[in-house]
Amino acid sequence: MAGRKIVIDPVTRIEGHLGIEVEVAQGRVIDARSMGTLFRGFELILKGRDPRDAPHLTQRICGVCSASHGLAASYNLDNAFGVTPPDNARIIRNLVVGANYIHSHILHFYHLSALDYVRGPDTAPFIPRYKGDYRLPKDVNDACVAHYLEALKMRMLPHQMRALFAGKAPHHVGFVPGGVTQKPTVDKITGFLWRLRKVQDFINNTYVPDAMAIASAYSDYKKIGLGHKNLLAYGTFDLDSTGKNKLFKRGRYIGGKLLDVDAAKITEDVKYSWYEDKTSGKNPTEGVTEPQPHKPDAYSWVKAPRYDGLPYEVGPLARMWINGDYKQGISVIDRHITRALETQKIANALEGWLMQLKLNEPIWTECSVPESADGCGMVEAPRGALGHWVRIRNHKIENYQCVVPSTWNTSPRDDKGIRGPMEQALIDTPVADPDNPIEVLRVVRSFDPCLACAVHLIKPNGRMKKFRVV
Ligand code: NFE
Ligand code: MG
């Protein structure tokens, strides 16, 4: 690196373990590297298990987007088992995942990213903080601090809404292949509804206005954090049992065109990731997770997913853009606005779905573990396109692969040396003071990165150490 190197490791106020390294010259970022610093071992843990364990084990990948892992695993197994869940089950899955989105987006806005723009009180946990251009008018800033506290309480409601239909959050037990385990009852429907109304009031009258206030005070960030401008969404929230009609459409956007998605064109490169080189470039149906922690030149535990060889940004902006709900731009601010607007859109949809539930109708279609089958479950998690793939042999999981949203967004360079979406978005970011690189963090947190997983290996002072987790 020729300019001044800035290393932010770990990045705080995100989920999981991320390091960011940028090179700054003439006050701008000229190169960037995104480093996932913990190994994700779940694909190995799943080998040899009963396939029906997958919705439960994969939820443990993360405490924030767990419902979506439960959904992807359920779709994956529905597909492998050759079963179509009844309408009640499809709707209950949507309600549970919708509640999880609301929780996740409120958490991200107020508790993970707002303090990049809102100056908190000069007391812990709001200090220490980077010096920066906190520029909200005092009354707006004070209101946002009050809403930070209110949002902590608000986040309970979607957790309770989810628990009504699936069991306690964050790792619920209510999704199974073929459907769900909880019947709809009048009590559950009314309990969901009054909480929804309360949280909708907060979304409409607090979250969305606060996001808009920050967008207007920091409008220069509409020109920062642009990235490759390729967007990808697998689509989610099925509106009927065909799998074709969804609240958010499947599609991708590249070079100004909206195009379709073919799962066969998804691959994961590992040239710069700590995995064996021979596993590079594989489609997830034949994906291999073979760690190589001593690989020279590698700098991340995150693989580099590509579609037809190219990086794609995933998340609320991709979903809203591909669905035709938003066209204003691709930037830091557009990511925050679309996350707020889609929270509103999902909350509005939940009440209609709730009213479609039919008491005393089935919640499960009978099915059993096949001797041999392959499956694929492609959905959207709060942070973007999420895919699970399974190969079942002898009634057991022979191979399980997850490609998660943050794998797309925080990926390192691919085998051709092309930067990942977040790395590219960092290029050209102005940095006023390299000792307080708040601008870099505004770009990073706009993606809502999540690198969560169990600890297997860490890298202190450049030397690998092995830990046994018991
Ligand atoms: Ni751990 Fe997640 C979401 C998934 S990771 S938060 O949303 O899948 O990007
Ligand atoms: Mg994976």
pLDDT tens digits, 24-65? 999 999 999 999 988 877 888 999 999 999 999 999 999 899
Q: Which atom of ligand 1 is nearest to the CA of 61?
A: 1
Tell me phi and psi for residue 230, to 5 degrees: -100, 130
CB of 387 sitting under 6 A from ligand 1: no
Tell me if residue 411 is catalytic: no
List pLDDT tens digits, range 279-322.
Answer: 999 999 999 988 998 999 999 999 999 999 999 999 999 999 99
**460 pLDDT more than 70:** no
Ligand 2 centroid – CA 42 distance (Å)? 8
Ligand 1 centroid – CA 187 distance (Å)? 31
Mean per-residue pLDDT for 120-141? Answer: 95
Q: Which atom of ligand 1 is nearest to the CA of 449?
A: 9
Mean per-residue pLDDT for 452-460? Answer: 40
CB of 112 sitting under 6 A from ligand 1: no
List of E strands, 293-449 = 304-307, 372-381, 384-393, 396-403
Tell me if residue 450 is catalytic: yes
Ligand 2 centroid – CA 284 distance (Å)? 8
CB of 103 sitting under 6 A from ligand 1: no
CA distances (Å), 149 to each of 144, 209, 303, in order? 9, 16, 36
CB of 14 sitting under 6 A from ligand 1: no
Out of 383, 388, 391, 419, the active site residue is 383
Ligand 2 centroid – CA 389 distance (Å)? 10
Pocket residue to mutate for ligand 1, from 232, 386, 447, most atoms within 8 A of Cβ: 386
Instruction: Give the Cα separation of 382 and 101 in Å (integer).
Output: 5
Q: What is the pLDDT of residue 466?
A: 52
Pocket residue to mutate for ligand 1, from 58, 406, 447, most atoms within 8 A of Cβ: 406
Tell me if residue 280 is catalytic: no
Which listed ligand is nearest to 401 at the C-alpha?
2
Query: What residues have CB less than 8 Å from 104, skipping those under 6 apart?
Result: 64, 65, 382, 383
Our CA angle for 267, 270, 272, nearest 5°, is 140
Ligand 2 centroid – CA 62 distance (Å)? 13
Cis amide linkage into residue 209, ω under 30° from 0: no
Ligand 2 centroid – CA 101 distance (Å)? 22
Tell me if residue 69 is catalytic: yes
Q: Determine how β-strand 4-8 pairs with β-strand 457-458.
A: unpaired
Tell me if residue 393 falls in helix, strand or coil. strand
Tell me if residue 453 is catalytic: yes
Query: What residues have CB less than 8 Å from 325, skipping those under 6 apart?
Result: 319, 338, 341, 342, 345
Ligand 2 centroid – CA 287 distance (Å)? 8
Closest C-alpha residue for ligand 1 atom 6: 65
Q: What is the pLDDT of residue 42?
A: 86
Biggest CA–CA distance in the chain, Å, is 68
Buried b / exposed e along 422-438 (16+ C-beta atoms within 10 A) = bbbbbbebebeeeeebb
Q: Determine how β-strand 18-25 pairs with β-strand 4-8.
A: antiparallel
CB of 406 sitting under 6 A from ligand 1: yes
Range from 20-24, 221-225, 290-294, 450-454 carrying the lowest mean pLDDT: 450-454
Which listed ligand is nearest to 42 at the C-alpha?
2
Q: What is the mean pLDDT of the chain?
A: 94
Tell me if residue 17 is catalytic: no
Percent of the chain predicted with pLDDT > 70:
96
Which listed ligand is nearest to 107 at the C-alpha?
1
Q: Determine how β-strand 15-16 pairs with β-strand 450-451.
A: parallel
Q: What is the pLDDT of residue 148?
A: 97
H or E segment to which residue 465 belongs:
strand 465-466
Q: What is the pLDDT of residue 437?
A: 98
H or E segment to which residue 279 belongs:
none
Which residue in 378, 451, 469 sits closest to 65, CA to CA? 451
Instruction: Give the Cα separation of 108 and 420 in Å (integer).
Output: 22
CB of 85 sitting under 6 A from ligand 1: no
Instruction: Give the Cα separation of 132 and 114 in Å (integer).
Output: 13
Tell me if residue 62 is catalytic: yes
Which residue in 78, 105, 135 sits closest to 365, CA to CA? 78
Confidence of residue 174 (pLDDT cuts 50, 70, 90): very high
Tell me if residue 144 is catalytic: no
Confidence of residue 185 (pLDDT cuts 50, 70, 90): very high
